[in-house]
Amino acid sequence: MRYLSLALILSITLGIQVGLASGDQTQLVIIKDYKFIPQEITIKQGQTLRWENQEKRQYHSVWFEALNEEEPEDYLFPEEVYEREFNKPGSYPYRCGPHPDMTGIVRVTE
- Per-residue confidence at 24, pLDDT binned at 50, 70, 90? low
The mean pLDDT of the chain is 85
Q: Which of 9-23, 24-38, 58-72 has the lowest mean pLDDT?
A: 9-23
**Residue 2 pLDDT exceeds 60:** no
pTM of the full structure: 0.77
State the burial class of residue 39 (Cβ atoms within 10 Å of its Cβ: 0-12, 13-18, 19+): exposed
The rounded distance, in Å, linking the Cα atoms of 23 and 61 is 29
Q: Quick one: which H or E segment has residue 49? A: strand 48-53
The rounded distance, in Å, linking the Cα atoms of 27 and 70 is 24
**What pLDDT is attached to residue 82?**
96
Pick one of 2.30.30.40, 2.60.40.420, 3.40.50.300, 2.170.130.10 as the CATH number of 6-109.
2.60.40.420
Full strand arrangement of the beta sheet holding 35-37: 35-37, 27-32, 48-53, 81-85
Give how far the C-alpha of residue 72 lies from the chain's centroid of Cα atoms, to the nearest Å: 13
**What pLDDT is attached to residue 5?**
53
Higher pLDDT, 8 or 79: 79
